[in-house]
Amino acid sequence: MTTVSGRPREFDIDTALDQAVQIFWRQGYEGTAISDLAETLGINRPSLYAAFGNKEALFRKALDRYTATVTSYVQEAFEEPTARRVAERLMLGAADATTREGCPQGCMGVQGALAASVESDRIRYLLSDWRTAAQVDVQGRFERARSEGDLPPQVDPADLAAYVTTVMYGIAVRAASGATNAELRRTAAFAAQALPW
């Protein structure tokens, strides 16, 4: 039981964030109303505002939660011993994460601000920055591989990171369109075969 200002709260913050992830993932930022969030989380609007702030603040917290849970495969992939294995694991991980049982198809970070209005520009920019940061992290892992002599000199870490993340986000879009896990894993495996070394 979590408290705010000494008052007991009738819901667990982590559970509430997981529920918020699900609704934002399914409906996007703009398609999710405060009333949807309050109903899903099982609290009234004043309690929702007291716990999380406004809708944008809750979305930001939900995106952090999504990153720490659903996309944790990215950090796990970075632990693979070779750049090739990192790339393969990232692309296969995208196929698995975007087709998780009991979750919406696709990626919250890709779908969250689709068709967003001008009023939702901050969310669109937030998600663009989120995707860019992921690509920078992937590039950093490939730069490490190059410094360790694991990446051939003709393979540019930035180009490789752009390729891998483009495949990952493409997989997410196909998942949102109904592609199955098996189909997307075949796509990931095919993309891995095209790696230039």
DSSP assignment string, the chain: --EETTEE-SS-HHHHHHHHHHHHHHHTTTT--HHHHHHHHT--HHHHHHHH-SHHHHHHHHHHHHHHHTTTHHHHHHTSSSHHHHHHHHHHHHHHHTT-TTS-SS-HHHHTTTT--GGGHHHHHHHHHHHHHHHHHHHHHHHHHHHTT-S-TTS-HHHHHHHHHHHHHHHHHHHHTT--HHHHHHHHHHHHHTS--
Residues contacting 69, CB < 8 A, separation 6+: 18, 21
Instruction: Assign 172 a pLDDT band (cuts: 50, 70, 90).
Output: very high
Span 102-130, average pLDDT: 86
At 4 the pLDDT is 47
Instruction: Say if residue 88's pLDDT is above 90.
Output: yes
Torsion of CA 126, 106, 173, 81, to 10 degrees: 80
Span 16-21, average pLDDT: 95
Range in 10-14, 100-104, 193-197 with the lowest mean pLDDT: 10-14
Strand-pair partners of 4: 7
Instruction: Assign 120 a pLDDT band (cuts: 50, 70, 90).
Output: confident
Strand-pair partners of 8: 3
